[in-house]
Structure 1
Amino acid sequence: MARPKILVVGAGFAGVGCVRRLERQLAPDEADLCLVTPFSYQLYLPLLPQVASGVLTPQSIAVSLRRSRRFRTRINPGGAIGVDPKAKVCVVRRTTGEIVYETYDRIVLAPGSITRTFDIPGLVDNARGMKTLAEAAYVRDHVIAQLDLADASQDEAERLSRLQFVVVGGGYAGTETAACLQRLTMNAVKRYPRLDPALIKWHLIDIAPKLMPELGDKLGRSAQKVLSDRGIEISLGVSIAKAGPEEVTFTDGRVVPTRTLIWTAGVVASPLMNTLGAETVRGRLAVAPDMSVPGLDGVFAVGDAAAVPDLAKDEDGAVCPPTAQHAMRQGRKVADNVLASLRGRPLESYKHKDLGLVVDLGGRDAVSKPLGIELRGMPAQAVARGYHWSALRTNVAKTRVLTNWLLNAVAGDDFVRTGFLARTPATLRDFEHSDAYLTPEEVREHSATLLARQD
């Protein structure tokens, strides 16, 4: 008899956590293991703002999947664009554009999320995101390029627009991005004697009434004060009405001349979840407490793309937030449940109490709330960086990140522009291929094609 095949989709915290647990627990001939991911690395997303600001190198937070001594997983280099749970077929578009098929006996869906956008005129054509390694590297190049171009310009209007920056989104990603990049520009402008530092203006806006409400009122106000004291203009209850290549219009009527719009206003589950024809909760696939999908044989879902019931909260309908700590633990638990399903054992429910939150604002500034304890300044920074450092999966990654932090603390920022996509301005639609997914009908057509080939 052929060995059963376990297919894992996505190499984020949940997907990699699942694969690593399976590699340790599976007997040598018990099952075949395949991972579908465009890149053979796990990206440590919480540190992307530090890549954008140059504190960390891109390689330091891209943790190779092939360094494991127990490595036994076949990697299919592509993205899953559809799943037919009846035929047990996953449709994969490889990085070359070729369409291939992966059959499975058990599938773990951990495709993560994509940047949430709205039907705002000009948004997808003029905004940049902060969701991928390529976006972080591009944003860094773009911001430094604005300083170079402003310094060379003789046009005051052009200079003003290049030295104003707008970040939309008052959550962790937006706040950390604005904080880290503002610090970079203020340090960099010292090397541009023709530029007046007072012309550099950063705007952080969010439609919500509070900045990072998950932190609570006190820490949220502390973070807001740190940013305001640095000169970042914070506007709450405000969003974007229109985005152009050289100006942005806010919903309160203000028009800000800018060449830099960074969009971090939340995420939505991967569109892959809509291809299964199963129940979703705000785009996230509805799953049972054991992370299996009701009514679909052998299908499990975890991470940002799954609405996993939060049993640690005494609230009806509560689901786990899309955070790294939940994704990592869900990945390990779902691996145990996949093994249990293969071995005829009962599945266990996922339950984890949130350990707290950390927000790195760059330099010595941070706010943290570990285990409900509110911290600010250097103690908070120590907790934030200690948490991120310990969460990195390999010793090589830990060494690289620690070395980068120490080097930045001693030598300061560098302002090297690599020329990444310098002649081809890239926007949200260029980095996140959200239009690549199939409809459930198209997925079934592909399954029928595969079955016809097999016959």
Structure 2
Amino acid sequence: MTRKRVVVVGGGFAGYEAAKGLSAKLPPEEFEIALVNPTDYFLYLPLLPEVAAGILDPRRISVSLPGTLPDVRLMLGEVRAVELAERQIRYTDPEGAHHRLSYDRLVLAVGSVHKLLPIPGLAEYAHGFRGVPEALYLRDHVTRQVELAAAADEEKERDARCTFVVVGAGYTGTEVAAQGPRYTAQLAARHAELRGQRMRWLLLDVAPRVLPELDQRLSGTADRVLREQGVEVRTETSISEATADGVTLTTGEFVPTRSLVWCVGVRPDPLVDDVGLETTKGRLVVDPRLGVPGHPEVFACGDAAAVPDLTRPGELTAMTAQHAVRQGKLAARNVAASLGHGKARRYRHHDLGFVVDLGARRAAANPLHIPLSGLPAKAVTRGYHLVSMPGNRIRTAVDWLLDAVLRRRQSVQLGLVRSGTVPLDTASPEVPKLRKE
């Protein structure tokens, strides 16, 4: 008997949960679950800043898809087109070969990519922060800048190489800026030439405060902690131009630097626009059961889907991991229901709070809307991450323990990733010119 096939596109938070749920709900003798993803791992994005800061090994947050989803068929590749009439997708594998894959049900969970703004020099000189290669490259880049600063004879060059600008004071940008000062301080301590040298970190955002998604109390706590760690927080400020020698702020000030990290939000994957279905705010229109109107065989979830927020009539759910996880689980349930297994439900989820790691022993958290800071928040933050990760929990905890006990991180240039292979616009297949170091 020919098995029916359910294809899940994307192995992020939503896609992973959808594939996992489908493999549990549908009998394998009747259904094949196929997951199409560019890598063979699920990336636990919230801990990516700790990879860039040398706290965690990148393998800790890279959870094997074949290892944790044994009943799901992994198809390595980038989906290039969805052919709705033929009920098939076209994708390209890592070696450039082209493939077609038919489906009886399709779950689009392609996630998001960097949100770029038309700022001169941004794509050429900024470093993105959405994946392991980018985090590893940023770590290599920061290490290299400190080492080149130690070898520089001119004070202006040393100052520029020891200045790091992060744009975007949301969750990711705040955590990157919070982890940075301690890492660069440890790097500088190895060089007598940098004794007394200032390691300057700037965090910029057009919003009036850091972490604008949070209530003012916790936003204020994060701001205070950042400043205590030496981060220059510039609100209502961004950049108007980036060059090889520095950035010009919207205030008109020029900041000499060789390091610009772009953390200004995300946008749905470009595949969403190419599918040919109705979109709103760049996301696929779906009903409360995550189905695509007019196509009962197609479902969408996560950052790619404009899911109605039934807890806030007229609004869409936010593009967060919390929603993506729960939508992925519901997508699995509703797809299975459409195939005769179970009953479909509508998506309704109240925000359960947030966690933000602020480096060292500090964090800000709001579990079940109870505001926490300091060590209690740190404990809640790390506990939440360990519970949320689908694997590698013990190894992650060991890395945290070693960082706390040894207080000195391994930091050498690996030279594994060149800047030209880590474009800021990850949606573009073109490789930009190498940036000037």
TM-score normalised by structure 1 residue count: 0.91
Q: Does 1:337 align with 2:334?
A: yes
Counterpart for residue 410 of structure 1: 405
Conservation of the 8 A alpha-carbon contact between 2:269 and 2:427: no
Q: Comparing 208-217 with 194-203, which one deviates more in the overlay?
A: 194-203
Gaps of 5+ in 2: 431-437
Counterpart for residue 451 of structure 1: none
SS at structure 1 position matched to 2:189:
helix
**1:142: Cα distance to partner?**
0.6
Counterpart for residue 153 of structure 2: 154
**Matches of 1:418 and 1:145, distance apart in 2:** 7
Counterpart for residue 36 of structure 1: 36
Counterpart for residue 26 of structure 1: 26
Conservation of the 8 A alpha-carbon contact between 1:134 and 1:431: no
TM-score normalised by structure 2 residue count: 0.95
Q: Does 1:434 align with 2:428?
A: yes
Counterpart for residue 193 of structure 1: 192
Conservation of the 8 A alpha-carbon contact between 2:127 and 2:261: yes
Rate the CA distance shift 1:200–1:107 in 2: closer, same or farther, 3 A.
same
**1:370: Cα distance to partner?**
0.8
**1:401: Cα distance to partner?**
0.5
**Matches of 2:213 and 2:424, distance apart in 1:** 31
**Matches of 1:353 and 1:430, distance apart in 2:** 33
Counterpart for residue 354 of structure 1: 351
Rate the CA distance shift 1:428–1:281 in 2: closer, same or farther, 3 A.
farther
Conservation of the 8 A alpha-carbon contact between 1:129 and 1:135: yes
User: Residue 4 of structure 2 aligns to which amino acid in structure 1?
Assistant: P
Rate the CA distance shift 1:131–1:166 in 2: closer, same or farther, 3 A.
same
User: Residue 356 of structure 2 aligns to which amino acid in structure 1?
Assistant: V
Of 376, 389, 414, 1:379 maps to: 376
Rate the CA distance shift 1:178–1:142 in 2: closer, same or farther, 3 A.
same
Counterpart for residue 217 of structure 2: 218
Q: Comparing 165-174 with 24-33, which one deviates more in the overlay?
A: 24-33
**1:402: Cα distance to partner?**
0.3
Conservation of the 8 A alpha-carbon contact between 1:137 and 1:420: no
Rate the CA distance shift 1:431–1:40 in 2: closer, same or farther, 3 A.
farther
Counterpart for residue 143 of structure 1: 142
**Matches of 1:416 and 1:225, distance apart in 2:** 28
Counterpart for residue 244 of structure 2: 245
**1:435: Cα distance to partner?**
4.8
SS at structure 2 position matched to 1:213:
coil
Gaps of 5+ in 1: 437-455
**1:351: Cα distance to partner?**
1.2
Cα deviation code 1:284-307 (max 9, x no counterpart): 111110001111231111111111
**1:132: Cα distance to partner?**
0.4
**1:72: Cα distance to partner?**
2.1
Conservation of the 8 A alpha-carbon contact between 1:291 and 1:350: yes
Rate the CA distance shift 1:72–1:344 in 2: closer, same or farther, 3 A.
closer
**1:337: Cα distance to partner?**
0.5
Counterpart for residue 66 of structure 2: 66
**Matches of 1:124 and 1:281, distance apart in 2:** 26
Q: Does 1:11 align with 2:5?
A: no
Counterpart for residue 323 of structure 1: 320
Conservation of the 8 A alpha-carbon contact between 1:55 and 1:413: no
SS at structure 1 position matched to 2:158:
helix
**1:345: Cα distance to partner?**
6.1
Q: Does 1:367 align with 2:364?
A: yes
Percent of pairs with identical residues: 43
SS at structure 1 position matched to 2:142:
helix
Cα deviation code 1:82-101 (max 9, x no counterpart): 21222212121211122211
**Matches of 1:171 and 1:112, distance apart in 2:** 18
Counterpart for residue 434 of structure 2: none
CA RMSD for the aligned pairs? 1.6
User: Residue 17 of structure 2 aligns to which amino acid in structure 1?
Assistant: G
User: Residue 244 of structure 1 aligns to which amino acid in structure 2?
Assistant: T
Counterpart for residue 400 of structure 1: 395
User: Residue 332 of structure 2 aligns to which amino acid in structure 1?
Assistant: A
**Matches of 2:239 and 2:422, distance apart in 1:** 15
**Matches of 2:284 and 2:27, distance apart in 1:** 30
**1:75: Cα distance to partner?**
1.2
Rate the CA distance shift 1:427–1:27 in 2: closer, same or farther, 3 A.
closer
Counterpart for residue 48 of structure 2: 48
**Matches of 1:227 and 1:206, distance apart in 2:** 14
Q: Does 1:291 align with 2:295?
A: no
Conservation of the 8 A alpha-carbon contact between 1:114 and 1:434: no
Counterpart for residue 173 of structure 1: 172
SS at structure 2 position matched to 1:191:
coil
User: Residue 136 of structure 2 aligns to which amino acid in structure 1?
Assistant: A
**1:428: Cα distance to partner?**
5.4
SS at structure 2 position matched to 1:332:
helix
Conservation of the 8 A alpha-carbon contact between 1:189 and 1:197: no
**1:327: Cα distance to partner?**
1.1
**1:215: Cα distance to partner?**
1.4
Counterpart for residue 57 of structure 2: 57
Provide the aligned length of Structure 1 versus Structure 2.
Answer: 430
